Amino acid sequence: MRFAKIEPFLAFILMASTAIPALCADAPQQTGAPQPQASQISMSDFMKGDSSCVEFNDHCSYCKVTNGVAECSTPQIACIKQAYQCTKSAGQ
Confirm whether 60 is domain-assigned. Answer: yes
Confirm whether 73 is domain-assigned. Answer: yes
Contact 40, 81 (CB under 8 A): no
Contact 46, 56 (CB under 8 A): yes
Confirm whether 1 is domain-assigned. Answer: no
pLDDT tens by residue, 32-42? 655 555 557 89
**Owning domain of residue 84:** 41-92
Confirm whether 65 is domain-assigned. Answer: yes
Q: In a 3-state reduction of DSSP, which class is residue 68? A: coil
Q: What are phi and psi of 88, to 5 degrees?
A: -155, 125
Confirm whether 34 is domain-assigned. Answer: no
Q: What is the pTM of this model?
A: 0.55
Domain count, the chain: 1
Structure confidence at residue 70 (pLDDT): 94
Confirm whether 5 is domain-assigned. Answer: no
Confirm whether 19 is domain-assigned. Answer: no
Confirm whether 48 is domain-assigned. Answer: yes
